[in-house]
Structure 1
Amino acid sequence: MLKTIPVLLAGLSLLLHGPSCCQGSRILVVPLDGSHWVNMAVILQELHSRGHSMVVLRSAKSWYIPEHSPYYTSLNVRMMEDEIDNSFYLKMLQQIMKHRQLPTFIRSFRQQFEITSMLSFGHGICARATASMLDDSTFIKKLKDAKFDLMLTDPGLPIGFVLGTYLHLPMVFNARWANTGDSHFTVAPSPVSYVPVTGTELHNEMDFLERTKNLMHYFYISIVIEEVFIMPVYSELLQRHFPPGADLRSMQHSADIWMMRVDFVFEFPRPTMPNMVYIGGFQCREAKPLPAELEAFMQSSGEHGVVVMSLGTLVSALPKEMTEAIAEAFSKLPQKVVWRYLGQRPSNLANNTLLLDWLPQNDLLGHPKTRAFVAHGGTNGLYEAIYHGVPVLGLPLLFDQFDNLIRLKGRGAARVVEASSLNKENFLEALRDMLENPSYRDNIQRLSQLHHDKPISSLDTAIFWIEYVIRNKGAAHLRSAGSILPWYSYHSIDVMVFLLTLGVAFLWVSIYVCRLLCHWRCRTKSKVE
């Protein structure tokens, strides 16, 4: 039996890496910009290498999606980037940092409301952009004539799956977020007794007050955000272009496969569904050699090593007093520092710190000289840190970053510093603890070992399921019937009301019969007397 295992593995590898029976398929891609594009681009490159052709819809003002690429053909359309820029997120950051001063229990609600209010503006842009596509008969005819085999999109905003539904295409989601938060809450059973809602900053082991907070967040997101802030924005669009009764929720549920950028090495265990495939960390890879000058800087650190710092793609610059405090703390370290930094150069920057407007983050994290990673807590960066086994000092700023870092901190692989209260002293103390306490590195290297211990790579898993949907023209057999049930049927509220009504009716009839019997007995007794 043991001798057959290598043969089976070789056969499996041939199936995954060999020629595909759906080579030459045409795929329509509607990505999101920013960090979401970083991982979508990895999938597109791999699909191109397997013979598929892709058309990518992008904004002419796109921040990161190139118009010209060897991997795809692009079509410029109206997107969110046409009406907002990075200053949109800087304004949001300023408001969030104010709310971080509030008491723990209520700050997440205020923070969630702030993000919701600003993103509702984004949904307005998204609805107008989608309407402009559907109203353009020439554009729609061009897409229909292309005879695409698949829609590949990120459901963080609805443009992709609304367009995919209109074109009647099988759909695969490259997903982490849906309209209202974690995609799991859109598709999979999510018991709020132990599954923390996005934005709550809770662990999966909650006491009574924490479960109360979690339930309140769940109702706020599913009722207020979804029904008040999001659904009405698209009502006119759906009425004009779709049959009666069409809604965003049913369009999301019609996706054939949800490729979740999640690994349960990092995420809390929770219920899932057959059409949810887990590809967390698929964008990670072995480190490549660094440019000569950067490699020389890394080697110059000697035995002390290097600290890498990056705050992602959306926030280009922190407040001046914060960057001055960070620079001052770095100057006290024996380590060298590579800092991805945009903005005015800190006046107190020391010789041990190298500022770059772009850095090869994955290759730096995989370098043997790297000792720690100062990060904002975006999932791309955290998975790269897990992949390469580098402990994280978290500086969360927006969105899911607070929740992500709580997960990594709970596993003993990270520390977190609040940006709203950051100063030289607490940042330096956290850095020294991270660098001098071996438990952080031991814990994240344990996570790295678990992350790598899988029979098939996450990227190969993603490509397999994309091609699976193309080969089979969908995967409707994997979709749960629960996705088409109204909420009261899904939660059996109608059944419980029916049974409760029966119980009350039975009790009422029993009491009524008892009263009749008592009355009859009393009358009989009085006649005898």
Structure 2
Amino acid sequence: MGGLKYLCYVLLGPMIFFTFCLHATMAGKVLVFPVDGSHWINMHVMIEGLHARGHEVTVVRTSTSWYIKESSPHYKSITVTLPEAVFIEDPDFFVSFLSKMLEINRQGGSPLAFMKFLWEMFTTLAKIHQQASQLVVEMFENKALMEELRATHYDVALIDPGIPAGVLVAHKLELPIVFNVRWITSGEGHFVVAPSPVSYVPTSGCAVSNQMTFGERVKNALRYIINVCSDHFIVTPPYNALMARYFGPDANFYHLLQGVDLWLMRVDFVFEFPRPTMPNIIYIGGFQCKPAKPIPAELQEFVDGSGEHGLIVMSLGTLVKGLPIDITSEIAAAFAQLPQRVIWRHLGEQPSNLGNNTLLVKWLPQNDLLGHPKTRLFVTHGGTNGVYESIYHGVPVVGVPLLFDQFENMLRLKVRGAAKIVDVATLDSQVFLTAIQEVLHQPSYRDNMQRLSRLHKDRPMHPLESALYWIEFVMRHKGAAHLRTESYKMPWYSYHSLDVVGLLLAVLLTLVGVVVLIVRFLSLRLCRRQKPKLE
């Protein structure tokens, strides 16, 4: 028996050593530019995966970062101090922003309310990107830092382009770029890199399905025009100014975005509507999802007390501390009438009418609770991470969308028959209670969500493994230019073939003109021949 063990050691020892050496030689250096808040949660999952595979990860953060910590066992950090903190790194900003949006929404769908909404959005966007663009200035003007970055010889830059300052830095360092993306400066990322016909592809900020009526197509086209104008006149000017300053007058920021090597798109077509795509887009929707772990003992005791009625989980994500007290009181009143127990992540003022069946917590293990067998329903604002976790675990949803893409996310689940939407601006206890009871008691909601869950899980590779593979692919090959179209370098009239159409029209008109002239010439000759005969 001892001889057999010795033989195994002799045979397997070199193999294990070779495998270890091979893994070590493949390990690379990754420079990461994340976005704070909920975006950081999924970027951190990817960073943990890269670290586990032996890669050295460096994260660029600002001194006022909210979620992104300076010290971590999974990465080193570079902290940059900005002249002014970026709005999105202040959690109180989203509370005040939500209050303004609610006030506007309560005015109804009037043109004045819509104009107020656009003005608030445009003003906020302009300020955020003016602040964020200063990261580029602070890094480029710090010669010692730039020399250190060059000397490190990074293999790839992993960037969340929601705040795209890292694109300019990576371009300066001549690094291959991989995007961890769903949202970009102009809205949903596909609109920058892939054909996006607005006849059936819903544009960012327009909560319509891919099967639009004529009126919805008009609305979708108008929203697309607004998004393009916003991006051109409000968002990109500070970055184009930096391009001119550091790369020359002919440099174009938008071309940098379109020329990225690889797009890891946080999308799964189980949830997203079908649309055109490109070879350098890899779909990793739900990559942060994983099987549930046991929940903490104090929560388990509360959940066990729910009996056959089960549990409802409510969370409004990481951006908003809490809703106004008048709305939370209506929600609490509805929960108090239910036989189910409720775990509610709530950071604001506690409602005075809270029922005995409702537990308020400042933090909850969302993924583990959604995967618990007693969970019957998820009440959510419709953030992408929560939506994919509910799909993964097959838990139907009551959506209370608040900001940004949450309205579009919830619409997609509603179209799939897996969610009911409640308008937060008009929410009261009866409306909220009716929505919850409908989703709880109509089996179609759970059946549809569990069907989505089966489809989402039926894939050859977990989306996180796919993401890590393609990051390493770009590292190994120093980019992925063979997957990237160069169409973004074409003039707009060439891209839309207007020059070809013009040429063909000119040829057609010329031929028509020649035919007309020939016919007229022959007609005149025929008339001249017939005239003497008549005489």
2:163 maps to what in 1?
A: 157
**CA distance in 2: counterparts of 1:376 and 1:292, whole angstroms:** 27
**1:396-411 alignment to 2 at 5 Å?**
396-411=401-416
Which residue identity lines up with residue 52 of structure 1 in the other structure?
A: H
1:3 maps to what in 2?
A: none
Which residue identity lines up with residue 151 of structure 2 in the other structure?
A: D
2:30 maps to what in 1?
A: 27
Which residue identity lines up with residue 194 of structure 1 in the other structure?
A: Y
Contact 1:80 1:122 in 2 (8 A): no
Indicate how the Cα distance of structure 1 residues 335 and 69 shifts in structure 2: closer, same or farther if over 3 A, else same.
same
Indicate how the Cα distance of structure 1 residues 249 and 17 shifts in structure 2: closer, same or farther if over 3 A, else same.
farther
Q: Does 1:141 align with 2:144?
A: no
Q: Sequence identity, in percent?
A: 49
Report how far residue 246 of structure 1 moved: 1.4
The correspondence for 1:64, drawn from 67, 71, 75, is 67
The range that moved more, 105-114 or 239-248, is: 105-114
Indicate how the Cα distance of structure 1 residues 81 and 379 shifts in structure 2: closer, same or farther if over 3 A, else same.
farther
Q: Does 1:265 align with 2:270?
A: yes
2:261 maps to what in 1?
A: 256
**1:111-260 alignment to 2 at 5 Å?**
111=117, 114-222=120-228, 224-260=229-265
TM-score w.r.t. length of structure 2: 0.91
Report how far residue 411 of structure 1 moved: 0.7
Aligned residues: 513
**Which whole-Å deviations, capped at 9, do the CAs of 1:229-271 have from their partners, x for residues lacking one?**
1222223211111134211211112211100111111111111
**Which whole-Å deviations, capped at 9, do the CAs of 1:409-456 have from their partners, x for residues lacking one?**
111100000011101110011011111111111110111011111111
Report how far residue 152 of structure 1 moved: 0.4
**CA distance in 2: counterparts of 1:128 and 1:70, whole angstroms:** 28
2:48 maps to what in 1?
A: 45
**CA distance in 2: counterparts of 1:185 and 1:63, whole angstroms:** 29
Q: Does 1:371 align with 2:383?
A: no
The correspondence for 2:429, drawn from 424, 429, 432, is 424
Contact 1:23 1:50 in 2 (8 A): no
Contact 1:109 1:217 in 2 (8 A): no
Report how far residue 112 of structure 1 moved: 5.1
The range that moved more, 313-322 or 479-488, is: 479-488
Report how far residue 489 of structure 1 moved: 1.5
Indicate how the Cα distance of structure 1 residues 508 and 90 shifts in structure 2: closer, same or farther if over 3 A, else same.
farther
Report how far residue 487 of structure 1 moved: 2.1
The range that moved more, 115-124 or 280-289, is: 115-124
Indicate how the Cα distance of structure 1 residues 89 and 524 shifts in structure 2: closer, same or farther if over 3 A, else same.
farther
Indicate how the Cα distance of structure 1 residues 452 and 109 shifts in structure 2: closer, same or farther if over 3 A, else same.
farther
**CA distance in 2: counterparts of 1:513 and 1:90, whole angstroms:** 75
**Secondary structure of the corresponding residue to residue 296 of structure 1:** helix
2:420 maps to what in 1?
A: 415
The correspondence for 1:315, drawn from 320, 325, 329, is 320
**Secondary structure of the corresponding residue to residue 82 of structure 1:** coil
Contact 2:82 2:138 in 1 (8 A): no
**Secondary structure of the corresponding residue to residue 172 of structure 1:** strand
**CA distance in 2: counterparts of 1:110 and 1:507, whole angstroms:** 53
2:348 maps to what in 1?
A: 343
Report how far residue 156 of structure 1 moved: 1.1
The range that moved more, 98-107 or 432-441, is: 98-107
Please, which runs of 5 or more residues in structure 1 have no aligned partner? Answer: 1-15
Contact 2:400 2:422 in 1 (8 A): yes
Report how far residue 457 of structure 1 moved: 0.5
Which residue identity lines up with residue 46 of structure 1 in the other structure?
A: G
**Which whole-Å deviations, capped at 9, do the CAs of 1:178-214 have from their partners, x for residues lacking one?**
1111111111111222111111101011121111221
Report how far residue 526 of structure 1 moved: 5.6
1:6 maps to what in 2?
A: none
Please, which runs of 5 or more residues in structure 2 have no aligned partner? Answer: 1-18
**CA distance in 1: counterparts of 2:83 and 2:219, whole angstroms:** 32
Indicate how the Cα distance of structure 1 residues 312 and 143 shifts in structure 2: closer, same or farther if over 3 A, else same.
same
**CA distance in 1: counterparts of 2:230 and 2:259, whole angstroms:** 21
**CA distance in 2: counterparts of 1:137 and 1:146, whole angstroms:** 14
Indicate how the Cα distance of structure 1 residues 175 and 80 shifts in structure 2: closer, same or farther if over 3 A, else same.
farther
Task: Supply the RMSD in Å over aligned alpha carbons.
Answer: 2.3
Indicate how the Cα distance of structure 1 residues 83 and 282 shifts in structure 2: closer, same or farther if over 3 A, else same.
closer
**CA distance in 1: counterparts of 2:350 and 2:507, whole angstroms:** 73
Contact 1:108 1:199 in 2 (8 A): no
Indicate how the Cα distance of structure 1 residues 83 and 457 shifts in structure 2: closer, same or farther if over 3 A, else same.
closer
**CA distance in 2: counterparts of 1:279 and 1:31, whole angstroms:** 17
**Secondary structure of the corresponding residue to residue 398 of structure 2:** strand
**CA distance in 2: counterparts of 1:392 and 1:213, whole angstroms:** 27
Q: Find the structure with the greater CA-based Rg.
A: 2
**1:380-391 alignment to 2 at 5 Å?**
380-391=385-396
**CA distance in 2: counterparts of 1:17 and 1:460, whole angstroms:** 19
Contact 1:90 1:315 in 2 (8 A): yes
Which residue identity lines up with residue 313 of structure 1 in the other structure?
A: T
The range that moved more, 137-146 or 465-474, is: 137-146
Contact 2:313 2:343 in 1 (8 A): yes
**Secondary structure of the corresponding residue to residue 345 of structure 1:** coil
Which residue identity lines up with residue 46 of structure 2 in the other structure?
A: I
Contact 2:346 2:360 in 1 (8 A): yes
2:504 maps to what in 1?
A: 499
**Secondary structure of the corresponding residue to residue 26 of structure 2:** coil
Report how far residue 519 of structure 1 moved: 4.8
Which residue identity lines up with residue 33 of structure 1 in the other structure?
A: D
Indicate how the Cα distance of structure 1 residues 113 and 181 shifts in structure 2: closer, same or farther if over 3 A, else same.
farther
Indicate how the Cα distance of structure 1 residues 269 and 293 shifts in structure 2: closer, same or farther if over 3 A, else same.
same
1:8 maps to what in 2?
A: none
**Which whole-Å deviations, capped at 9, do the CAs of 1:286-316 have from their partners, x for residues lacking one?**
1111111111111111111111111111111
Indicate how the Cα distance of structure 1 residues 513 and 168 shifts in structure 2: closer, same or farther if over 3 A, else same.
same
The range that moved more, 66-75 or 247-256, is: 247-256
**Which whole-Å deviations, capped at 9, do the CAs of 1:24-56 have from their partners, x for residues lacking one?**
311100000011000000011111111101110
1:450 maps to what in 2?
A: 455
Which residue identity lines up with residue 470 of structure 2 in the other structure?
A: W
Indicate how the Cα distance of structure 1 residues 20 and 526 shifts in structure 2: closer, same or farther if over 3 A, else same.
farther
Which residue identity lines up with residue 411 of structure 1 in the other structure?
A: R
The correspondence for 2:310, drawn from 281, 305, 309, is 305
Report how far residue 22 of structure 1 moved: 5.3
**CA distance in 1: counterparts of 2:210 and 2:114, whole angstroms:** 17
Which residue identity lines up with residue 353 of structure 2 in the other structure?
A: N
